[in-house]
Amino acid sequence: MSAWSDGYNADIAYTHGAYRELTPGYLSYVCLLNGVRPPRTDRPFRYCELGCGQGMTLNILAATHPQGRFTGIDFNPLHVAGARRMAEEAGLANVAFHERSFQEVAAGALPAAEAGEGFDFIVLHGVYSWVSPENRRAVVDILEKTLKPGGLVFVSYNAMPGWAPLLPLQKLMLAHAAANPARSDRQFDAALGFVNRLNEAGAGYFAANPTVGQHLATMAGQDRRYLTHEYLNTHWEPLGHAQVAQDMARAKLGYACSANIPHNFDELSVRPELRTILAEIADPTLVETVRDFAMNQVFRRDIFVRGPDRLSAAETAAELRRLRFTLMVPREKAGLAVPVPLGELRHDPGLGLPILDALAAGTPGLGEIAALPDMARHDFGTISRFVALLVSANHAHPLADSSEEAREAAGRLNRAIAGRMLVDESLFFLASPVVGLGVGADSLERLVLAGLLGGQPVDVQGLAGFVTDALRALGRAIFAEDGAPISDPEAMRPLVAAKLADFLPQKLPVWQRLGLL
């Protein structure tokens, strides 16, 4: 482990993820759902990501929000260099990346022009439970010094009590890696193999904690770049909400809500018998802690605000009514059944079908949806919650204020990403100026998008040839229905064409609706 990394895994780069929960539009929407006034984004605003990694989220946000000024902080020079390169290729002038540690930034190393009079948004995804206590204190110092009054902080972290059974597993894997020096992904594979041998040999820990065995099976198929950063960090420490809330209070931050929409509705996330107990608790921090025990919380997505301004019910409804929404998926993929922590919530067709039809036909405002004749027997709260759960399931999303400038910048960024997709299999997200966030694509869809963005016509046979050539260049096969890998181009092309003919009629309108093409 490098001395400068302070116990953090820094010898291989992290994934090129783009996270919806970090986007200003989503964070503002969730705040409004919970009656908290968010920072304004309809005018110039400032946004900072601490621990920005490869910068994919930040570059997408900069492209889709030209009215914002974006700052990325990461101590890994490999991350910062790659993020800057992408921003330069896309011609993004409203984003800057800085190779700094949190402690350096807390001590004033960030250029004064970057923060201006302070940030409106500061976000950290996963970082807070991966770094040392000293670095967590530095993070809070940064929040205290640079967040505006009314500013919003998003912090996600590995949580207790859900991680409790897995704590010994991480410590064992870290110890095994320390005893077997190598590149961290190879250390991880060796440690995972060792742990699986213990499990198969009947070690008592696995017998007493059956969820650990299930977790090992899940890990087998996960990205090694994610897993090495998750498990091979010296200061990895799942945290309780009360501890994080206490830390944030030092920067005058109050807890607003969870960025995981269903977690704010006890009837969707907590068993009835436990809701009775929650209702007896007056202290809000203890309520969150007990709710985490009720749900066996593994990962929290917390939103804090510096001086939370609680809106009245009438103000909240008025703000929500103004928001416009669109579908993120083909109409036939958006259904009445929505996953929630307690299982699957099935909605009344009389409520859900007219809303889905309206979203498929245009970009209605929530007020317009509520005014539909079919909605006359449903109250606004019920209508709003159904739309919120569609957003939670990634079936819908509020519109961004997408200007022509945003569309042009997103187009430049998407063309730059598309060019890299043909040589880099870790890229799966493109920028949508319509909703102001990154839209993911699977391993085949991403190559189709790369072709279309590179000028390929919308023609199944032509695209099939392009995708086949791309797969061959990447050394990849395509799988037949029986699971057999096929790498011969003459055999691959008709299979690729059949897959494209199946999904392209559904996907193409969605990509066009979201402004990817």
Report CA Rg, the chain: 23
Beta-carbon contacts of 504 under 8 Å, excluding residues fewer than 6 positions away, are 448, 458, 460, 463
pLDDT number for residue 1? 45
Compute the half-sphere exposure of residue 12: CA atoms within 13 Å on the CB side of its CA.
19
Helix (H) or strand (E) holding 302: strand 299-305
pLDDT number for residue 117? 83
Q: Phi and psi (nearest 5°) for 96?
A: -135, 140
3-state secondary structure of 234: coil
pLDDT number for residue 35? 98
Helix (H) or strand (E) holding 58: helix 56-64
Task: Quote the CA–CA distance of 360 and 358 in Å, as a whole number.
Answer: 5
Superfamily of domain 20-161+238-261+298-305: Vaccinia Virus protein VP39 (3.40.50.150)
Distance spanning both ends of the chain, measured CA to CA? 43
Residue stretches of the chain with pLDDT short of 50: 1, 4
Q: What angle do CA 383, 299, 209 make, to 5 degrees?
A: 125
**Alpha carbon distances (Å) from 78 to 47, 59, 197:** 22, 16, 35
pLDDT number for residue 223? 83
Strands 437-440 and 95-99: unpaired
